[in-house]
Amino acid sequence: MDPAVMELEIGPGPEPGSYVARVLRSVGGGEPTETFHLDLDELVDRRPLLEASVLSSAVSTRRVMSDTEAVLQDVGRRLFDAAFAGSVGTAYRTSLAVASERGLSVQVSLRLTAPGLAALPWEALYDADTDRYLCRKEPLVRNVPAAHTPVLRIAPPLRVLGMISSPRGLPMLDVEVERERLEQALGPHIEDGRVELSWLEDLTWDGLHAKLLEGSWHVLHFIGHGAYDTATDEGVLAFVGRDGRADHVSASAFADLLDEAEPTPRLVVLNSCQSGTGGPTDLFSGTAAALARSGIHAVAAMQFSISDDAALAFSRGFYTALAHNRGIDEAVRSGRIGILGAGRGTLEWVTPVLYLRGDAQLFDLGSVPTDHSAEPRSPAPADATGRPPGAAPPRTQAASARTSTDASVPGSRAPTPAGERATRRPTWRRWALAGGAAVVAIGAVVTALLLIPFGPDPGGAGGSGDQPSTAELAVPLDVDWVDVGLYCTLGDEFVIEVSGRGWLDETADSQIGPDGLPAEERPEARVLPDANTGSVIGRLDTTPERFPVGTGTTYVCPAQGGLMLGINDTDLENNSGEFGAVVTLNQ
């Protein structure tokens, strides 16, 4: 039975820091409006702590409420108290009562019209009066305005195209494990003919283009690397380029590619880090929101990194609901409940995000043929003769026998107390834009929750995974940024040493070393005001903040991302020469 809907628009208020909550429709009737204030910047700044809290919760605890849940609940309560204040809150409770009398649930549909609001974890909304998280009791969606779209009536199977993109130079995904996980989640429905799963083998742009033109697909399930590009203010996904390295595809370009399919897939599932994150200035700049705005009816994404067990539990509950003709909003809620049952005390149910364009009922699956003489459908087999560029090789006995010291290797198992079975060890899948992935050790997360900075992994791995510990590179003076080839995880320490000489114009007296011009010269030409013009500076490819390097520095990573070096000069065109840099991970 379809849920009743309470659609709530939250937009800019009459003064800075103020917002207006307006009920557009509700089963309880009435369209009240309330103005509230919210410290958006402070809440956005708490995202890293909140993500750490959610990840660490995968380890069960005997406490009534762990410190990790207290962090989540505080954010959820603040958001609820702000958005559901006064008459808006009354309309919500009236809707719950009316729906309950009719035997219905209430879909809470959030239409966020003020830039920056999309970056907040609205899935954490917590009603202190009833002691419940909204998204665990009622379907909660992020609404993208659209005209009514008829339900797509299809004869089973529901056709799912799976894509696992693991290009060289980024954290290597265990492709076989990822395949097995999705196949396991869909297994019962593949066997009974409700779902058909096919795998994309050519993971390039051209490969997906050809596959979309080849047949009709109802769902695209992407597993891989995603991030938010602050330079372009847009979400990106990492495809495999023709050279096997990452081809970073913007959300807008991805949407255009999907539109080539006839019909366009109604549902896209993004199982990648930060695929559900919204931008601070462009309301629809996040990958998921951009796809929904482009015409994709529903996009399910992840706003935080997610553990392997939680990803499996979500997919199982999510696709089971879809296979039984539930609406997409109910399917996401079923996925949350699946995660809730995967581990006592887990908070990872807050990680999935659903952007919905139009109605929640995407498909109407007819009855499954009862011809039992036919062989059950099964996923397309992997290519036994070779893999596309960037795909992980088959697992060997040695690769599957990793010990706990490999905790920082993507896909490996985190350290486990002696005596526990290896299969119960939690694995963190930390997908990001470039470089190796980090496993967040539980002790480090607890330290972070006490607001003490993370330190390097005590086992010495530090979170750098299989990446080399040293890089040597040239930093040309006429190039904007150079990729070092090393990856930062929170708390990693890099020693950077730079030498050489270059010129800021064609004259001999413009020669400089890595420290650039004297401090008082040409300050107007600086990218980083606190560093000399022409000096070497650094940054991560996931954050806008720059830091001075000069002839050398020790850099402690404040976040995760690919390390880059550049020149502190806004006009690079007439520069010449290059510096030599040696970057070492301090283990």
Give the SS3 label for residue 491.
coil
Residue 225 binned pLDDT confidence (cut-offs 50, 70, 90): confident
In this structure, the number of other CB atoms found within 10 A of the CB of residue 62 comes to 7
Sheet holding 158-164: strands in order across?
33-37, 18-25, 4-12, 106-112, 140-144, 352-357, 298-302, 267-272, 219-224, 158-164, 195-199
Instruction: Report DSSP state, residue 168.
Output: B
- pLDDT at residue 550, as a whole number: 95
Whether residue 39 has pLDDT greater than 60: yes
Average pLDDT, the chain: 78
- pLDDT at residue 175, as a whole number: 85
Structure-token pair, residue 279 = 């931008």
Q: Give the contacts of 571 (CB within 8 A, at least 6 positions apart).
A: 525
Total residues found in the chain within this entry? 587
- DSSP per-residue codes, 201-240: ---SHHHHHHHHHHS--SEEEEEE-EEEETTTTEEEEEEE
Structure-token pair, residue 415 = 């350290």
- pLDDT at residue 82, as a whole number: 96
Over residues 368-395, mean pLDDT: 40
Q: Is 464 exposed, middle or buried (0-12, 13-18, 19+ CB in 10 A)?
A: buried
Q: Give the contacts of 31 (CB within 8 A, at least 6 positions apart).
A: 22, 23, 24, 25
By mean pLDDT, which of 61-75, 471-485, 505-519, 546-560 is the weakest?
Answer: 61-75
Note the pLDDT tens digit of each residue in 532-576: 999 999 999 877 789 999 999 999 988 878 899 999 999 898 899
Residue 467 binned pLDDT confidence (cut-offs 50, 70, 90): low
- Residue 503 and residue 509 in contact, taking contact as beta carbons nearer than 8 Å: no
Whether residue 303 has pLDDT greater than 80: yes
Q: For residue 240, which of 163, 164, 162, 167 has the smallest C-alpha distance?
A: 167
Over residues 479-488, mean pLDDT: 89
By mean pLDDT, which of 41-45, 122-126, 338-342, 559-563 is the weakest?
Answer: 559-563
Note the pLDDT tens digit of each residue in 206-222: 999 999 999 899 999 99
134 vs 174, more confident: 134
Note the pLDDT tens digit of each residue in 399-425: 332 222 233 223 332 333 333 323 222
- pLDDT at residue 521, as a whole number: 87
Note the pLDDT tens digit of each residue in 61-115: 433 445 678 889 999 999 999 999 999 999 999 999 999 888 888 999 999 998 7
435 φ/ψ sector (left φ>0, alpha ψ -120 to 50, else beta): left
- pLDDT at residue 10, as a whole number: 96
CA separation, residue 344 to residues 48, 60, 67, 302, 306 (Å): 23, 5, 15, 21, 16
Note the pLDDT tens digit of each residue in 132-170: 999 999 999 999 887 667 788 888 899 999 999 989 888
Q: Is 550 exposed, middle or buried (0-12, 13-18, 19+ CB in 10 A)?
A: middle
Share of the chain above pLDDT 70, in %: 77
